[in-house]
Structure 1
Amino acid sequence: MKKSIVIGVGNMLFKDEGIGIYASEYIKQNYNISSDLEIIDGGTLGFKLMAYFQDYDNVIILDTVSIEDEVGSIFKLPSDVLLGLGKYRKTAHEVEIIEMLEIVSVLDSHANVTIIGIVPQDIQSVEIGLTQKMEEFFPLFIKTALKEIEDLGFSYSKKDEISVSDIVKSMIGSYNGTHLSRIPNEEDFTHEINL
């Protein structure tokens, strides 16, 4: 069987920008998938992802996309379409992905790269967790990714029902500020010291 990989990319520090990473981890924790398929958190690896573009037959990237459309719109973007999308290059890793595709496109052999991208609501606020709008579209994003995995010839079955918020908390200890409840605020701390 051909070598295939799913890579979640993004930056978890900027709200919806982390959805690709959350989606890859969500699939890993909630589904059994044919053992030949690799699923990784690519984070902001940037040009280090080029090795996957060269060494694999199929690469599915889960990410946000900077396309002028309604929040939550999901796009399947094959590499040849991506190479023609000048407006796509808005975030740092989007620029890197396009540049890597341009580089490997001149090689004799390179991966069939497809981005499953979702239009985010907020990729500027510094907070770990998804906006409510992205949470609403998250199941469809997962369903779209699983359909692409299935189209490559892999089978999958549901094994668990762990929520995206619990998955993010297990990864980084916080989700939309919920970690704050574990840390005493400054007033409480000062009050305790004065006692």
Structure 2
Amino acid sequence: MRDSISHSQDVPQSAPQAAPPHIVVLGIGNVLWADEGFGVRAVEALNAQYACAPNVELVDGGTQGLALLPLVESAHKLIVFDAIDFGLAPGTLDVREGDEVPVCLQARRMSLHQMGFADVLACAQLKGNYPQEIVLIGVQPVELDDFGGSLRDAVKAQIEPAIAQACRFLERWQAAPRARPASSASPSGAEPLNAASLALAAYENGRPSERLANRDGDTRFWRPQENV
């Protein structure tokens, strides 16, 4: 009996496998203001077209700002889709990595949600819970001041290239997504990230005419420039 026990103890024990890194793919922006919605539309399209590994979390972050801090802190690796003022030609896609990401978000802030998200990254860093790797996939907007409007064509055309960039990083991190069958490559073929009424097609097709719906926000408090 003793020999048997001794023998079993000499057998090399396999080391426990490390858990895969938690990867977050986050789309931020406001779909109510034209190209501001690019980040949300990109992550929605990624979710519709691809099934991701269990350690990959796709999130519509909207304009939640500091409420996204726990999510960012939980991420070992983070991909962010957003409309960014890179100072480039409208409709241009660009990718930034590492330390360039917070610098880019802070240098040319276009909206409150970007100010909030830059603060999220700063807080995560101060708390020592900053992602090991961070990637920003952004597009230079064409139009922002169109309340209730959708993406302009030049920006919408960058959704597929943006998804391809995200897939490239996911593959690098050993989390390559699987393309969904063509029959299900739509929001209805995957668990949606948002309410069905906010899906891109429904949002665009349901927009009232300009006669019925104001395009300039609440004009009780400001007037469009052309009417000043």
TM-score of the superposed pair, with normalisation by structure 2:
0.70
Q: Distance in 2 between matches of 1:98 and 1:180?
A: 32
Does the 8 A contact of 1:28 with 1:39 survive in 2? yes
Q: 1:13 to 1:180 in 2, by over 3 A?
A: closer
Match for residue 135 of structure 1 among 156, 160, 168 = 156
Identity level (%): 19
Answer with 23-32 or 81-90: which moved more. 81-90
Higher helix fraction (1 or 2): 1
Match for residue 162 of structure 1 among 186, 196, 213 = 186
Aligned length: 179
Deviation (angstroms), 1:31: 0.9
- Which has the higher Rg, Structure 1 or Structure 2? 2
SS in 1 for 2:138: strand
Q: Distance in 1 between matches of 2:126 and 2:149?
A: 38
Q: 1:150 to 1:53 in 2, by over 3 A?
A: same
The aligned counterpart of 1:150 is 171
Does the 8 A contact of 2:41 with 2:159 survive in 1? no
Deviation (angstroms), 1:169: 9.3
The aligned counterpart of 2:124 is 104
The aligned counterpart of 1:71 is 90
Q: 1:105 to 1:64 in 2, by over 3 A?
A: same
The aligned counterpart of 1:172 is 198
Deviation (angstroms), 1:9: 0.8
Deviation (angstroms), 1:137: 2.1
Any unmatched runs of 5+ in structure 1? 186-195
Match for residue 123 of structure 1 among 144, 149, 152 = 144
Q: 1:102 to 1:169 in 2, by over 3 A?
A: closer
Report the residue type matching 2:123 in the other structure. I
Report the residue type matching 1:87 in the other structure. A
1:5 counterpart = 2:24? yes
Does the 8 A contact of 1:67 with 1:87 survive in 2? no
Give the superposed CA RMSD: 2.5
Any unmatched runs of 5+ in structure 2? 1-19, 213-228
Q: Distance in 1 between matches of 2:24 and 2:47?
A: 12
SS in 1 for 2:69: helix
